[in-house]
Amino acid sequence: MRRVLGSVRARATLAATLVVAVALVAAGAAVLLSLRSNLIDQTDAQADSAARQVASELAADIPYTKVEMPDADDDRPVQIVEKGGRLVAVSEDLEQVTGTGVEAVRPQGGSGTGGSGAGEDGDDDQDEDDHDPAVGEISEGVPKGSGSATVDGDTEDYRFVAVEATTPEDVTYTVYAGAPLHAEESAVDTALTTMLIGLPILLLTVSGVTYLVTRRALRPVEGIRGEMDAITHSEDLSRRVPVPDTHDEVARLARTTNETLAALETSVERQRRFVADASHELRSPIASLRTQLEVGVAHPELLDVEGAVEDTVRLQRLAADLLLLARLDAGERPTDARFDLAAFVCEEASQRSGDRTAVTVDAEPVQVTGSRGQLARVLGNLLDNAQRHTRSSVTVTVRREGGQAVLAVADDGKGVPAAERERVFERFVRLDEARARDDGGAGLGLAIARDVAVRHGGSLTVHEAPTGGARFELRLPLGEADAARAP
């Protein structure tokens, strides 16, 4: 059961069915109540009409013995009661009645006339033109509620209404009349039966349509899930999930999933290439160092201590570069230290005593925010690169340009061809493959420099220097104070 309800289709179908069921039950109950109320009102109107018909004759001074009562076929029982509660007349074939407050069905003894009773004695056969007939009053009908009556052996439920009639002689009678409820009960039963039959059919229809629509809408999702499962088991990141030919959320999900797979494939491929290149770069100095140590063990007098130290230093630098790249790839954020970039450049340049070419610094004060250690690594890598390629001079400039601080390192070497100006920032890339590894480094310096620049919200690009060599530009956001003064 839990597995079935774990399906989105099942949950959506169940939810839609429950909502429709609640709505239909509520609507059906309201319809039944409204239908019953309307039919009862109609029945009360019929009973009121019958009572008024009899009451109007009484008010016209017609004796109750001569009032025209409904017959058995009319199916409307009538009682005429005097003010004291004495039953004086009933409709034909009324055998039993409840709900009027007067359960008697046989007239009780008394005067037996209404008004003057002239109608019974036959003394009122005067010409009607001799006087104007007097007319009494009829009150509004008062519903007495539901009851039952037996007419000519048939017992049914009725609605009763009471109407008071006052004769011209100020004699008051109460007329009770009833109307059968069998039409109301039949209509309500028919409506209820129709609802009980139609409700399950409608719910089944809603469930089926909801399930089919949901299934059709989620079919692409199942395709995406199946392809992702296949990718997971095959570890083939070159595969992509199918994108449905729609413009809905599922299509956007598929496109986003493919973008994620593409980024993951690029990252994994980059990591594989990084590991392979790192292994290749580490192999040479380790093999060289091992060879020198093995020779030193066998022939101490032949040990090249200076070469062993150089290989160890190279290994140390390469390990430091790999560690920094790993931290940058992990998303390490630079520390927020605010300092003067010009003073920082002058300080770092003054500590480079082993350079074969002097470094010229032309800097104006400008405040930046970032990691001094990482930016020192960037400046060192740029200067190392310039020292390897320059002929006679290396120049470092610092200036403010718009909302950025620009640090430029230029040399007068051969420069970087325009087609290779992005490739030089890739890891383990050397444009001059013939250059010795000891002179050219591992090819990680510029890659580290660009990664650090990006982590600081800036950029690192290479252009042609005025002297014909390469000019590397590091752009960083200004510090808060300088940014506020920048145009």
Residues 25-48: tens digit of each pLDDT: 999 999 999 999 999 999 999 999
For residues 284 and 35, which has the higher predicted lDDT (pLDDT)? Answer: 35
Provide mean pLDDT across the span 65-87: 83
Q: What is the pLDDT of residue 296?
A: 83
Provide mean pLDDT across the span 188-206: 90
Q: What is the pLDDT of residue 6?
A: 58
Provide mean pLDDT across the span 191-220: 89
Q: What is the pLDDT of residue 134?
A: 65
Q: What is the pLDDT of residue 308?
A: 81
Residue 486 scores a pLDDT above 70: no
How far apart CA 368 and CA 378 sit, in angstroms, is 15
For residues 268 and 472, which has the higher predicted lDDT (pLDDT)? Answer: 472
Q: Which two tokens stand for residue 432?
A: 């001059």
Residue 452 scores a pLDDT above 60: yes
Residue 1 scores a pLDDT above 70: no
* Listed range (2-6, 314-318, 340-344, 387-391) with the worst mean pLDDT: 2-6
Burial 40-62 (b: 16+ CB within 10 A, else e): beebbebbbebbbbbbbbbbbbb
- Please, what is the average pLDDT of the chain? 83
* Listed range (13-22, 120-129, 307-316) with the worst mean pLDDT: 120-129
Residues 6+ positions from 68 with CB-CB distance below 8 Å = 53, 54, 57
The reported pTM is 0.51
Provide mean pLDDT across the span 414-427: 89
Provide mean pLDDT across the span 245-251: 84
Q: What is the pLDDT of residue 22?
A: 93
Residues 6+ positions from 84 with CB-CB distance below 8 Å = none
